[in-house]
Chains A and B, each alone.
Chain A
């Protein structure tokens, strides 16, 4: 518990600022919802001036007043991926590479705590922080909308929060693995950040041009479908399982690799 508590404490500042950003943004968007709703026809007319494919690239696949489209457009398609990627890269690389770089890693590893246990506490702290951020991303919008008399389906939003958490974990797991294998936070975050950006680019391209639709499944955004989840109640079990499998494989791989990793940076 000692190591876990310290890891949580170290993540406190990062988690706090990211959560505040999400909550404030969510509150602003939630407060805007009644305006969008009362001007639905006008908004729809305005959006029809844009190509459908272009709007789809930003999650606008229906009426903005639909709770799912609203969440996807204003949170899931851009701010959450940015926040989730930043948090996952910072937390995932800190686990081993950054702490080795700053000379901290030697201190806990020179105590009787095993490497696996030490890294496991770090991963547990990642899970707590990412879950907190995902909850904030969902609750910020939901609570503010509710406060203005627009109560969204809590189950749908909760499920979207779980999917958002799984999305972030699928970035954090491989980052942690690369942090252990490369012992370089620059390389680990560069590789994962590059892949995430590449997947976003693939998603945008596949939305704009149907000729490239076949490649869409390689993009995480193709599996992060919160609109159907909230508006139609379609639980994307496969997508959730895919994110979870990537996250768990990354973390387990990191634990396995770290067990006997030569810490020669």
Chain B
């Protein structure tokens, strides 16, 4: 009888012990599915815009939005975003710093999905040149410049340049011999006094309305770059050119994206003899920062 009592007591004690060791996680609790295809684009020198494919759990009654955290420079977040806040612009960043943006879906029961992340750096956006006018490069017949200096360190902005300043061209417009082309200066048939530097072109995107349309999740350096002359006659919409060049005194690459506007059925605007192509520039000031680094846990690495 005594043995039985001790045994019963031991059993109760063991039961209590087991119960007290139980974790609070409910294995049957609902967990949201992760978002996918997280991509980024540089909006300004201090902001990056993110977009993603919605979590399949957005329609679940427990869905409580997304949790976004930012690490890299000064850590920020986590921010709670609603489903409607896609795309989302992260502000207060620093140009040249590669940030990691991590997104998780969350439920009201406290459960969160697996994370999806992308690494990206903000870049300066220029819609105006160093004189606060539209950025233009002119046809060969014009007295104005046919070349673009994408970043003039003296003024901190792009400028239009004539052939005499060809050594500093980053892009040139070529309208001789019935051609309408834009591209690496060394491939354009101009009588440069000093040979232009090497400017390599990567991907070209057409059918875009603005630079904001060109999202990515992979480093621009992963693209295939070479010197190119782009025949504009084969396009009938705005195009975005990804390029890289060496800033004066630098050995590493500086990366940029340039939007060439297609207006009223043509890349060339303005009066005959002084027609021009209008450009918008996204420029990474810090050498060696290709906007991004390759992210490991983001399945959709396509651009746009």
A and B: interacting chains: no
Question: Which B residues form the contact surface with A (CB < 8 A)?
Answer: none
Question: Which A residues form the contact surface with B (CB < 8 A)?
Answer: none
